[in-house]
Structure 1
Amino acid sequence: MSDPNQSDADRLKALEDRLARAAGKEPEKPHQEDHYSQGQIAWRMVIELVAGLAIGFGIGYGLDRLFGTMPIFLVLFVLFGLAAGINVMLRTAREIGNGGQAPKGQGDDNG
């Protein structure tokens, strides 16, 4: 009669072997990360630019309403939003140009 713990140990060893073999392979990337169509890239850049403008407009309008200085902060923060949107668009273009990988020193929290 075989020991019930022995069969569990054998199954655990078989599982560890399968995990070790699987760990040697490169993990598969989702299909969307493999290839971006030109349309997807263009929409992403347009959305990044419009989002920067909208956030700048919202902050500037809010500050102008708060302080009663209507066009000053609005114009200033719309220009900041435009600059931020263009900066993010350029970073996206560099990322796409590097094959989908962010340039070293950018895009990571470590630095």
Structure 2
Amino acid sequence: MADPDQQQQLEQLEAKIDAAKQRSAPKPRADEHYSQAQLAWRMVIELVAGLGIGFGIGYGLDLLFGTLPIFMVLFVMLGLAAGVKTMLRSAQEIQDKKVAEEAENKSP
């Protein structure tokens, strides 16, 4: 068995190695992490894009067939549903990333 002096030196060496590893660990880049505002804008853009595409398709079909704005209303509703579905998928993706980060931070 090692004497107490060697044990203490070994513990000091391990502490120095851990400190060196922490200093040389790669730092996360600022652009890799999204702020809350960026996430909110992403979701708003997804919703508006769905509405815009639905409006464009519906309006185009109404012009093509010469109908009342029935296709426009129908496709705006479909675009809204698609936009909400995309927003929910993005929110789930963000939540999964946060859960993975928390699990990674908790693991020893």
Name 2:44's counterpart in structure 1: 46
Name 1:78's counterpart in structure 2: 76
SS of structure 2 residue aligned to 1:70: coil
Name 2:92's counterpart in structure 1: 94
Name 2:31's counterpart in structure 1: 32
Between the two proteins, the alignment pairs up a number of residues equal to: 74
In structure 2, what residue type is equivalent to 1:76? L
Instruction: Give TM-score scaled by structure 2 length.
Output: 0.62
Deviation per CA, 1:52-80: give whole Å up to 9, x if none: 00000000000000001121100000000
Write the distance in 1 (CA, Å) between the matches of 2:91 and 2:45: 14
SS of structure 1 residue aligned to 2:69: helix
Cα-Cα RMSD: 2.2
> Once superposed, which parts of structure 1, at least 4 consecutive aligned residues long, lie more than 4 Å away?
28-31
CA contact (8 A) 1:61 1:73 kept: yes
CA contact (8 A) 1:61 1:70 kept: no
Unaligned runs of 5+ in 2: 1-26, 99-108
Q: CA deviation at 1:29?
A: 7.6
Q: CA deviation at 1:31?
A: 4.2
Instruction: Give TM-score scaled by structure 1 length.
Output: 0.60
Name 1:61's counterpart in structure 2: 59
Percent same amino acid at aligned positions? 69
- Larger Cα-atom Rg: 2
